[in-house]
């Protein structure tokens, strides 16, 4: 577990420093952006098109750094999916759309907010086959106190959710990359599952929180 690399900075700049084909799996949760404001007005779908160059560059970099056959998981929600999926598919070749069922979601007068999506691709053909359901049931933080880690990020995912994806997509000792590290939950999961981890985070507050959470997990490992 010596190879845990946490870097504070812009993911597009940092990705350029990663060698071609050196990452086994990407699991990342980019900001969904819907709900942002512009000139004091609520954003509309067309505003997302301003971000197309960013995601085009991001997905091209992921294709470059992930090993042939490596898995790529990108979180999104129902509002951002129509924008993100065509870019993702064109560059990475989407293989499936996973559904994270939060079991008990946020209350709404027009059905409960109980799920998010995970775009899934492999970098070319993969020998690894996953025959599990595309619906992953895992309780979210919004459902109440969570056993795995303290909530330090507004859209934080539970460690167990990352553990499911890491177990499906990698083997012990493989390298997992998270370009939007947030709370560091993916890194904590990597420590628990004995994977190497590279985490990028541009927000200093979240970076420090993630670093603290991952170091705390590392300190619980046996000294040998």
* pLDDT for the residue 146: 43
For 113-131, give the secondary structure using H, E and C.
EEEEEEEEEECCCCCCCCC
Given a contact cutoff of 8 angstroms between Cβ atoms, the answer to whether 1 and 44 are in contact is no
Domain contains 11? yes
Task: Identify the residue with better confidence: 74 or 40.
Answer: 74
Domain contains 15? yes
Domain contains 177? yes
- Residue 38's pLDDT band, with cuts at 50, 70 and 90, is very low
pTM: 0.90
- Which residues constitute the domain of residue 146? 4-219
CATH of the domain at 71: 3.40.50.150
Domain contains 87? yes
- 96-141: pLDDT as tens digits: 999 999 998 788 899 988 999 999 999 999 999 999 999 999 987 6
Give the DSSP letter string of 34-84. Answer: TT-EETTEE--GGGGGGGHHHHHHHHHHHHHHEEEEEEEEEEE-TTTHHHH
- What are the residues whose beta carbons fall under 8 Å from the beta carbon of 102, sequence distance 6 or more? 114, 115, 116, 138, 139, 140, 142, 143
- Residue 42's pLDDT band, with cuts at 50, 70 and 90, is low
SS3 180: coil
Domain contains 18? yes
Domain count, the chain: 1
Distance CA 97, CA 153 (A): 25
- 194-223: pLDDT as tens digits: 999 999 999 999 999 999 999 999 998 876
Judging by DSSP bridges, how do beta strands 175-178 and 23-28 pair with one another? parallel
Given a cut of 70, whether residue 43 has pLDDT beyond it is: no
Burial of 178 (0-12, 13-18, 19+ CB in 10 A): buried
Distance, first Cα to last Cα, the chain: 11
- 151-201: pLDDT as tens digits: 777 678 889 999 999 999 999 999 999 999 998 999 999 999 999 999 999
Least confident of 17-26, 76-85, 115-124, 134-143: 134-143
Domain contains 171? yes
Domain contains 224? no
* pLDDT for the residue 150: 67
- Helix and strand counts by DSSP (H, E) for the chain: 6, 10
Give strand pairing partners of 200: 7
* pLDDT for the residue 44: 58
């Amino acid at each position: 577990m010596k190879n845990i690399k946490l870097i504070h900075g812009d993911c597009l700049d940092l990705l350029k420093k990663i060698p071609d084909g050196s990452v086994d799996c990407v699991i990342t949760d980019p900001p969904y952006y819907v709900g942002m404001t512009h000139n004091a007005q609520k954003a509309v779908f067309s505003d997302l098109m301003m971000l197309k160059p960013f995601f085009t560059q991001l997905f091209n970099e992921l294709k470059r750094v992930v090993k042939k056959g490596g898995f790529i998981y990108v979180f999104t929600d129902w509002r951002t999916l129509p924008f993100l999926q065509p870019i993702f598919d064109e560059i990475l070749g989407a293989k499936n759309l996973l559904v994270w069922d939060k079991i008990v979601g946020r209350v709404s007068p027009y059905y409960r907010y109980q799920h998010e999506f995970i775009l899934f691709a492999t970098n070319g053909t993969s020998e690894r086959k996953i025959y599990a359901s595309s619906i992953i049931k895992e309780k979210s933080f919004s459902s109440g106190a969570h056993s795995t880690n303290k909530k330090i990020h507004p859209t934080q995912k539970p460690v167990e959710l990352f553990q499911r994806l890491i177990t499906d997509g990698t083997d012990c000792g493989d390298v997992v990359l998270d370009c939007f590290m947030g709370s560091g939950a993916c890194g904590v999961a990597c420590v628990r599952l004995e994977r190497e981890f590279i985490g990028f985070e541009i927000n200093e507050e979240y970076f420090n929180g993630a670093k603290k959470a991952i170091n705390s997990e590392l300190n619980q490992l046996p000294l040998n």
